[in-house]
Structure 1
Amino acid sequence: MHSDREGRPGYGQGRDALIAATIRVVADRGVRRLTYRAVATEAGVTHGTVQHHFANLDELLEAALEYCVAVSLAGSTLVPAGDRIEDFVATLGDSVRATLDEQVFQYELVLESRRRPELRPHVDRYYENYRAATGEALRRLGLPDDLHTVDIVFSALDGLVFRAVALGGAELRNLDAQLDRLREILVQLRRG
């Protein structure tokens, strides 16, 4: 993202800057502290600029969540190119460490959806995207891709990432070893 001397986003980059600012605000302060003013300050734009691009905060949250899911799926190798289990989520640990704010944002939104039902459709789509990618991965790997297996594998991944993101430190460093163990379990599942 390019900006002018004052730290403002370059022409045509306002929407992207607002999404990035939203992610940082929520990751640092939580969803309940998200305001137009907080996003504007973080992005280095006026309050009106935020309202120009997003009619309400839910629309801004939805755009930010879509961005986070796309970044997470692109960086995780959740759906490997081939049928090697060794390639399944091989880059997930590095991706999580490189996108901590995006990971925190997603979990913050999931938790906040318990208190704010209007966020639930966004969270449901979030989980649908990850479950669909997990199902596609299992099919490519020659593993069972029924609803329950997809949910178990996705929940294992989601739980490992959540714990690593929430606790940081050793948990974040141990994520790769835990993912290695999950792949070993999947190899055993494929052998039957």
Structure 2
Amino acid sequence: MADSAEIPQARPPRKRMNYGEGREALLNAAVRVVARGGLRKLTYRAVAAEAGAAHGLVVHHFGSRDALVAAALAHSIRTSLRTSAVEPGTGDPADFSAGLSAMVTADPDIQAFQYELLLESRRRPELLPQIRELYDEYFEATERELARISSDGADRPLARLVFAALEGLVLHQLVFDEPEVTDAALEELRSLLRLRRAEGDGD
């Protein structure tokens, strides 16, 4: 009888994922790969290994590396919009970006991924149109919520200014890991939004 140490151990079977679950798992894996190693580390094999999936599954879902990058960027932005409360829809300044610091603490990779792509677009201008299009989602969501907060509405320059403040706070929290600083700065921003609303109501 062969020694048990010589008997090859069978690999545990991979968990079979349905279409939607598999695609989302691969997108989350792509985000983590880029966040930790930059875009140069994004390969089908790296994503498959990170997701615990077969290499062919990445090819099946996305077809090309560029398609994977575009889908991962769209996924990261929509996830951020959903979890950061940039557009809670209430028009109450107290609710504006109420989940921002918690979002960064819970999933820093999804934010780091976006910064990696922004910087990469300086070296690869072909990325810029899709990044600009998808970032417009952030600007539009911010603009809509600011319009709800203030009766005199909001324009794109103001939305860009406010969003730039939010994005800077996210970047600082990623680097310094000080969510309490983020929260304090956000409360100052909300105070300014309350003043803006009061001025609009007083006209």
Aligned match of 1:122 = 130
Alignment root-mean-square deviation, CA: 1.9
Distance 2:113 2:57 in 1: 22
**CA displacement at 1:9 relative to structure 2:** 5.0
Match of 1:162 among 167, 171, 194: 171
Q: Which amino acid aligns with 1:16?
A: E
Q: Which amino acid aligns with 2:49?
A: T
Q: Alignment partner of 1:89: what SS?
A: coil
Q: Which amino acid aligns with 2:170?
A: V
Aligned match of 2:74 = 66
**CA displacement at 1:156 relative to structure 2:** 0.9
Work out whether residues 82 and 140 of structure 1, in 8 Å CA contact, stay in contact via their aligned partners in 2: yes
Work out whether residues 8 and 43 of structure 1, in 8 Å CA contact, stay in contact via their aligned partners in 2: no
Aligned match of 2:183 = 176
**CA displacement at 1:126 relative to structure 2:** 2.4
Deviations 1:73-105 (A, max 9, x none): 111111123221111111211122112111111
Q: Which amino acid aligns with 1:177?
A: A
Q: Alignment partner of 1:82: what SS?
A: coil
Distance 2:91 2:26 in 1: 38
Aligned match of 2:31 = 23
Q: Which amino acid aligns with 1:127?
A: Y
Aligned match of 1:41 = 49
Deviations 1:110-134 (A, max 9, x none): 1111111121122102210000000
Q: Which runs of 5+ in 2 are unaligned?
A: 1-11
Q: How many residues align?
A: 187
| Deviates further, 152-161 or 8-17 | 8-17
Q: Does 1:185 find its partner at 2:188?
A: no
Structure 1 pair 80/45, CA: closer, same or farther in 2 (3 Å)?
Answer: closer
Work out whether residues 48 and 54 of structure 2, in 8 Å CA contact, stay in contact via their aligned partners in 1: yes
Structure 1 pair 53/40, CA: closer, same or farther in 2 (3 Å)?
Answer: same
**CA displacement at 1:6 relative to structure 2:** 4.2
The alignment-based identity, stated in percent, is 43
Deviations 1:129-188 (A, max 9, x none): 0000000010110154112111111111111112212x1323x34111111111112222
TM-score by length of 2: 0.85
Q: Which amino acid aligns with 2:183?
A: D
Structure 1 pair 41/75, CA: closer, same or farther in 2 (3 Å)?
Answer: same
Work out whether residues 26 and 58 of structure 2, in 8 Å CA contact, stay in contact via their aligned partners in 1: yes
Match of 2:140 among 128, 132, 144: 132
Work out whether residues 22 and 34 of structure 1, in 8 Å CA contact, stay in contact via their aligned partners in 2: yes
Distance 1:72 1:96 in 2: 9
**CA displacement at 1:11 relative to structure 2:** 3.4
TM-score by length of 1: 0.89
Work out whether residues 9 and 44 of structure 1, in 8 Å CA contact, stay in contact via their aligned partners in 2: no
Q: How does 1:59-98 map to 2 (within 5 A)?
A: 59-98=67-106
Q: Which runs of 5+ in 1 are unaligned?
A: none
Distance 1:187 1:55 in 2: 48
Work out whether residues 149 and 193 of structure 2, in 8 Å CA contact, stay in contact via their aligned partners in 1: no
